[in-house]
């Protein structure tokens, strides 16, 4: 009985760090996925078909995107949302704040020609 209780306690103790490891594994998978999209997203941005919104998400600027391109934008935004939620939980903030801070970083770091939205909602070109 004592042995059983010890084993059970050990399993329960593993439960907490396992969930943390699972979150880290998932975030690693998300990062890898985002890495595979870099080139395609970059092409959309340089063509000014999409821009970087002030909430940290891609925004479609023209209606001429193909269904495949729209799906790519949706997938990227879904992954960004998960990253913002993860960081919000880790830092005690909100996904909205994390998205806004990421948008501010992107506005500074973007190469010339990228269309982005400033904090006041105005669209600008780098």
Partner 1 sequence: MSGKFLPVLLGTGIFITVQTGCIRVKSDPVEVKPIEININVRVKVDRELDNFFNDLDARDASKKAGN
Q: What are phi and psi of 111, to 5 degrees?
A: -75, 160
Query: Which region among 2-10, 14-22, 30-38, 66-74 touches partner 1 (by CB under 8 A)?
Result: 30-38
Under rule CB under 8 A, residue 68 binds partner 1: no
Q: Do 60 and 73 form a contact (C-beta atoms < 8 A)?
A: yes
CA distance 45 to 61: 10
Q: Report the residue from 49, 72, 73, 98 that binds partner 1 according to the rule CB under 8 A.
A: 98
Q: Do 117 and 52 form a contact (C-beta atoms < 8 A)?
A: yes
Q: Report the residue from 59, 60, 61, 87 that binds partner 1 according to the rule CB under 8 A.
A: 87
Under rule CB under 8 A, residue 47 binds partner 1: no
Under rule CB under 8 A, residue 91 binds partner 1: yes
């Amino acid at each position: 009985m004592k042995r059983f209780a010890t084993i059970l306690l050990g399993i329960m103790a593993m439960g907490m760090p396992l969930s943390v490891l699972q979150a880290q594994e998932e975030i690693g998978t998300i990062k890898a996925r985002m890495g595979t999209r870099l080139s395609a997203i970059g092409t959309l941005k340089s063509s000014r078909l999409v821009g970087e919104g002030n909430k940290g998400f891609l925004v479609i600027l023209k209606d001429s995107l193909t269904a495949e391109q729209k799906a790519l934008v949706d997938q990227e935004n879904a992954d960004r949302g998960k990253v913002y939620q993860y960081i919000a939980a880790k830092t005690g903030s909100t996904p909205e704040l994390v998205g806004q801070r990421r948008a501010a970083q992107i506005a500074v770091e973007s190469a010339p020609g990228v269309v982005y939205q400033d904090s006041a909602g105005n669209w600008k070109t780098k």
